[in-house]
A and B are shown apart, each in its own frame.
Chain A
Amino acid sequence: MRTYELMFVVDPRIADEEVVTMTQEYKQMISAGGSEITQEEQWGRRKLAYPIEKLNEGKYVLLFISSQDGKTALHEVEHRMRQNDKILRYLTVRTDEDLKRAARLARPEGAGGSSSSGNEAGEPADLADEDEEV
């Protein structure tokens, strides 16, 4: 199974309702392509880190997608987004491999992990040692 995240930034002058309908459209395309939307997040209006097309804000939408057989309509969706000038930016990331690897890394460390948490408190003690050689 493959999972993806699709995030896009919409022109802030577009009304929220229209953002929703736009999102709906893309979701339909994705569903029609044989994958499902597992989660959706509307971040709403957010300040951009740098101006895009002289705009300082954008509306962020995030979709989590999962596909059983690896077939998706994402290519098409990206194509449509590129042509839609209300969309300032989009990014699709495949996440299943990274998340799986992260889970694998997390497991072995779980056994001996409790001992490493005390290093923050131990540091100031090193400073005090310097005075002892008189």
Chain B
Amino acid sequence: MARSRKVFFRRRKVCKFCADKIDYVDYKDVKLLQQFVPERSKILPRRISGTCARHQRLLQQAIKRARHLALLPFTTD
């Protein structure tokens, strides 16, 4: 008899910055940063993106700098 084990498949989350070896998160790299600000323009939490703590910190700083220069939105309505 087949066990009715729930077939959950979770994709293993890997920090994009570690995988791509990005050690300096540049606030000018809008294309990269945009991947971490979904529709509402909030910063994507680590728990969802899988970014490691160090890179999330760098990312956060970069996004905030980009927002100041109007490269990224603070919010969308």
Contacts and interface: CB of A to CB of B under 8 A. Distances in A.
Interface of A: 7, 9, 48-50, 52, 58, 60, 62, 88-89, 91, 93, 98-99, 101-103, 105-106, 109, 113, 116, 119, 123, 126-127, 130, 133-134
Given A99-B24, A130-B9, 7 more contacts: A9-B70, A50-B74, A62-B28, A102-B23, A102-B24, A130-B7, A134-B2
Given A48-B70, A89-B68, A89-B70, A126 B9 contact: yes
A31 to B, nearest CB: 23
Nearest to A109: B21
A116 B14 CA distance: 11
Contacts of A93: 27, 65
Contact of B23 (A7, A106, A123): A106
A101 B73 CA distance: 28
Contacts of B65: 91, 93
A105 B23 contact: yes
Given A113-B21, A119-B14, A123-B12, A91 B69 contact: yes
Nearest to B23: A102
Contact of A123 (B11, B68, B73): B11
Contacts of B2: 133-134
